[in-house]
Every structure is written in structure tokens, then in C-alpha cells.
Chain A
């Protein structure tokens, strides 16, 4: 069991007082930004990227990111439960049941089952990540350019097909992102592309600009135009009633099943390119709604409806790290931001990462465990502080977000042009929100696009320019067929209805919400 030894090595790296301090800072910053309505983990990490620019070693940076991620995730649950404004779509289920629980005077129980559930699920799923990452990495070494190309197509198509309510709008978002990825000097021929002969664009548009522009600036403008700059009504916390960690014996009994099942939904769907956390949280919610002991309480504040989805949400993140670390393939917006973070340190996730930087990978996996422990140790005791953050006037909060957004862009390049480009992208992000175009496919398209093109052209070079290379290798063909099936999947209910001779209008398109 060599993974166990490697993991222990990772713990040896991260368990120094200095590293633990980074974990504490990460969790605190992550929660602080994550509690803002509309700001999910992907944006939080993007906004806090500049904090690590001065770091020499990537290890403290990744420890901080793990803390930021879990903090932001938990911050989102807090907002969902106490304010009923989910920070990201994976918290929608939590907002439904958790807020009802809070209104009935069980806010602490809802917060506790979310925190402990996330903790339990993260422990299980990070353990699974430690187990499967290296074997998958070894398998990935045998992948060829055509397989990589097919895998990237699959990842892009599934995210686009499953996210948002319209395939046309999703595909436009995706192609927009891929186009942004083309801008700059072509990596193979060295020719400028889509630059309008302006040398400013020769280096392309940095991912950080795109992420901060689309998410942070776009979201702020959207919030402003919707007139959501007044703080919402924070449901007050009830006095502590006893029980262990704010949960009574009965609540513990009702929670542990959904936690484990949530982790069971979250991890595999995270590993598969299914767009991150939405699908598993949705599946966990509907499983608990239909099967759990408390099913008659659903809609009125059932603890299972918080416990399951929150666990699934967290577990899916460890799952998403499997393709990210082993194949360099981001399958959610958060993973795309993580990939940008890797690039800051000149690291390319993929099969080589395990061979060349295995210390770093195991330190990262160990830091996920540490981040979770920190989260549980800090966030339940500090809940009154987070409630105070929720009561800060919105104009002050969003002005602060814009300050950090500009700081993030400025520290990437330091030029006015780049700041203006990011603001322009922010306006685009705002318009996309206004017209219900999903944001995540654009980010993934821009980040995966250049790599997709590299693999495409590499495969063609090997195959002497013959386009059939993508369909003659069985593995590539199988993956491409899966991608085609994924495009049809959202229409499956309608197609089935038609086959059964029912009115297809009654069967709705299968859709999940956007982001993270």
C-alpha cells in the first residue's frame, strides 16, 4: 500500500505550524468571501489568487487554496441556510431545506449537519482520491493525443449539455470561451490570431482576467441591476440547546445515512466529466426526498435535505480533482481556476505531475484533510462572526469585491489595458447573466480550448493529416460517442415521451443550474 506511505509523507509536509497557519488563513478568507451571496468557491479562489503570487513554493499556496475552497463552500451553505440566497447552484437544495429549518428554529442544527456532513464526505472522498489517483495516472500515461482530444470534447460537451436550460445558449457560451482561447500567438506556427494586429493581444487573454471578469465583475453588475444591494433578512440563531455539536441524538441518527450516501453520489460524479457538483447534489436531494425516514418533512425543513446534498457537494470536489490531477482535465469552473493556480507555479497537472512532483500532489491531498479539520474547528465556533459578515451592508461588500477583483487583475500584469479588458469581460458576463447564458462553459472553453487544439493538431501530425485518426482508435471513438450521447441526454425525457406516444411538451428538458 504505497499510497498510504506517500500520503503520510504529504502529512509530514503540511503539518508544520507555518503550514497550519496558511490553512487557518485560507479557511478564514474563504469563508469570509464565500458567505457573500452570489459568490461561490470558483470566484473566491480566483479573487484570492494574487495572495500567492509572491510565494516561492507552491505547497503553502495549495494548502491555502484547499482552505479557501472548503471555507468558501461552507460560507455558501451558511448564506443558504440563514439568508436563503444560495451562493452557487450546488447550494440550492441546502437553501430549500436549510432555510426552512432555520425558520423553525433549527438553524444551528442545519449549520452543524452541513459542516459535519461536508467533513465526513470530504474525509471519505479524499481517501478515495488518494486511492485512485495514482492508478488512474498510470493508466493515463498510455493515452494518446486522439484520446486526450476525445476526453476534452467529452468534458466540454457534458458540462455544456448538463448546465443551464438551453443547449443552444450553452454551446454559444462554450464556443465563445474557445474563441477567447484562440486569441494571441498560435503555439505551433507562432502566427498571431484574432488579435486585430494589436501586439497587446499577442500574449492572449490571461485566464485570471477572464475568471475575475466573468464571475466577480459580471456578478457585481448583475446584483446591482437586479437591485439586490440591500441586505436580506438574516434568520436569527437560536440559543444552543445541548446535544453533541449542536445536533441532538435523533438528528445525528437522521444525518449520518445521508452524509455517507451523499459522499457516494458526489465522488463518482465528480470523477466523471459531469460538470461538478450540481448533478450529485440534485441526485442526493431527490434520493433523500423519496427514500429517507424524514421524507414527509421535505419542503418544511428536513435535515436529510441538508445533510445529503452538502455531503455530495463536498465529495464531488475530491472527485473533480481526479481528472484534474491525473489528466490535467478540469471538469468544473472551480477545477478550471485550480488549473490556473497550477500554471502560476509553472506546473502542468497530468500523468507527469505524479512522477515529477509527487511530493506536491501528496501534500495537496493531505492539505485537503487538514483544510477540513480546520473548517470544522473554526467555523462552528465562529458562527456568530459569519452572521455579522452577513449583516454588513451590501454596497460595502461589493465595493470590496471590486477592489479585490481589480487587485487580482492588476497583479497579473500591471497594465491598464488588461484591467480594461477584464472590465469588458465583466460587462459581457453581466449580459450573459441577463440573457441566461451559462458562465461555466465559457471558462472551461477558454482554458481547455488551447490544449484541445494542441492535441488535435498533434494527433493529425502523427496521422499525416488524416481526420479519420479520431475514429479509428477504439478508445477515442468510444469517448467521442459518449460525448454525442451526452448532447442528447438532456432531451432524453422528451425523446422517451415521444417513443411512448405521449405529448413531448409535458416532459421537460433535464437541466441543472450553473457554476462551480
Chain B
């Protein structure tokens, strides 16, 4: 956690503990470890599971992760039995976060075809608005300014390629 001063672990027995989240996350860890573990067997090698071969360490690491995922689930189950939960912060503004991820994905797709400057300016305005900004004019001005500044300084001064897109600059 970045700001340890503010994050306090909910004590065991705290009725505010939200048990579902850690269960879901732990199940996810176990599931992903299991799927990846099956991929270890798909690695093409003549060396089998010899320690020098390409399968050995992935096998060890993923097996450990699977076991630790189960331990995490067991810890959460024990905490819930005592009426608490492992640390899990509430998902409050989840809709906004989902929208933001959606905007990011759209940005990734339009960046190339539309061009860096218009895509970035639009993304900036949309992202700022999703995060609670209510000053459209300011966001548009800052968005266009930032996109232009980044585009010109990176392509002209720093020699990094960025897509030009529909508006030739």
C-alpha cells in the first residue's frame, strides 16, 4: 500500500469486514495458477522435468503459488469464522473505474488510426470527467495543449515516433 498511514487492517471480529472479495480474489489466484500449471505441461521439451530443462522452475513456482492461493483462502475462511475478514477495501466508485478502463481501451484502439493529438485530447477530457471534473472548457484546453505539447516535443525534439493520424501536423 502506498500510504501506510491511512490503511488500517480491519481487526478480526470487525463486522465491517467484507468476506466475499478476498474469497473471489483467492479463487482467482488458484484458478490462474491451475491454468498456467497446465500450460507448463504443454512446454515442448525432450528434457522432461529435469531441473536443467525449461519446465522445472515454472512447475515449482506455479505449484507454490497454487498452494499459497489455497492458504490465502484458508486464512480468509478462518478469519470469517471469527467474524472478520482479511484486508479488503470497499469497492465504492466501481462504476466510474469500469468506465475509465473502458475509455482506456477505446483510447488504445483509436490512437493509431485517429492520430496521437486528437485521440489524446479526447481521452484526456473523457478521463478527467470520469474522475469527477466538471470544468469542460478547462479540460478541453488542457487536453489539447497537453496532447500538442507531448506530440511536438516527442516527435520533433526527442525523436520518438507517435502516430500522426487524420490531422497532419
| Interface residue ranges, A against B (CB under 8 Å) | 37-38, 40, 50-51, 53-54, 84-89, 92, 95-96, 164-166, 168-169, 171-172, 175-176, 178-179, 182, 186, 188-189, 191-194, 196, 217, 219-221, 224-227, 229-230, 393-396, 398-400, 402-404, 406-407, 410-411, 414, 416, 419-420, 423, 426-427, 430-431, 433-436, 438, 453, 456-457, 460-461, 465, 467, 513-515
| CB <8 Å contact, B57 and A453 | yes
Which residues 41-58 of B sit at the A interface, judged by CB distance below 8 A? 43-45, 47, 50-54, 57-58
When distances are taken between beta carbons in the complex, the residues of chain B under 8 Å from A433 are: 1-2, 89
Which positions in B face A, CB cutoff 8 Å? 1-7, 9, 21-22, 25, 29, 36, 39-40, 43-45, 47, 50-54, 57-58, 61-62, 64-65, 68-69, 71-72, 75, 86-89, 91-94, 96-97, 100-101, 104-105, 107-109, 111-112, 120, 123-124, 127-133, 135, 138-139, 142-143, 146-147, 150, 154, 158-162
Complex-state Cα separation, A226 to B130, whole angstroms:
14
Known: A175-B68, A192-B44, A398-B127; 12 extra A-B contacts, CB below 8 A, are: A38-B2, A87-B2, A92-B4, A191-B43, A193-B58, A217-B104, A226-B93, A433-B1, A433-B89, A435-B22, A435-B89, A457-B51
Docked-complex contact A398 and B131, CB < 8 angstroms: yes
Please name 26 pairs of A and B residues whose Cβ atoms are closer than 8 Å in the assembled complex, sorted by A: A37-B3, A53-B159, A53-B160, A84-B5, A86-B2, A166-B86, A175-B64, A188-B54, A189-B45, A189-B47, A192-B44, A193-B43, A193-B54, A194-B40, A219-B2, A221-B100, A221-B101, A227-B93, A393-B135, A399-B131, A402-B123, A403-B146, A406-B104, A414-B161, A423-B108, A434-B88
Find out whether the CB atom of B132 lies under 8 angstroms from the CB atom of A420: no
Number of residue pairs A-B, CB distance < 8 angstroms: 223
Query: Cα distance A240–B162 when bound, in Å?
Result: 46
Query: Do A400 and B124 touch across chains, with their CB atoms under 8 A apart?
Result: yes
Q: Which residues of B contact A461 (CB under 8 A)?
A: 52
Residues of B within 8 Å of A50, CB to CB, are 154, 158, 160
Instruction: Tell me the nearest residue of chain B to A418, going by C-beta.
Output: B108
CB distance from B104 to the nearest CB of A (A): 5
Of B2, B39, B52, which one neighbours A515 at CB under 8 angstroms? B2
Q: What are the residues of chain B within 8 A of A399 when measuring CB–CB?
A: 123-124, 127-128, 131, 133, 139, 143
A393, B5: Cβ atoms closer than 8 Å? no
Contact status A423-B72, CB under 8 Å: no
**Nearest neighbor of B76 in chain A, beta-carbon distance:** A435
Q: B residues within 8 A CB of A179?
A: 36, 58, 61-62, 65
Which residue from chain A places its CB closest to the CB of B87 in the assembled complex? A436
Shortest C-beta distance, A97 to chain B (Å), equals 12
Q: A53-B158, A423-B108 are in contact. Are A403 and B61 (CB under 8 A)?
A: no
For residue A406, which residues in chain B have a CB less than 8 angstroms away from its CB?
104, 107-108, 111, 123
What distance in Å separates the Cβ of A29 from its nearest Cβ neighbour in chain B? 12
Distance from B118 Cβ to chain A, minimum over Cβ atoms (Å): 13
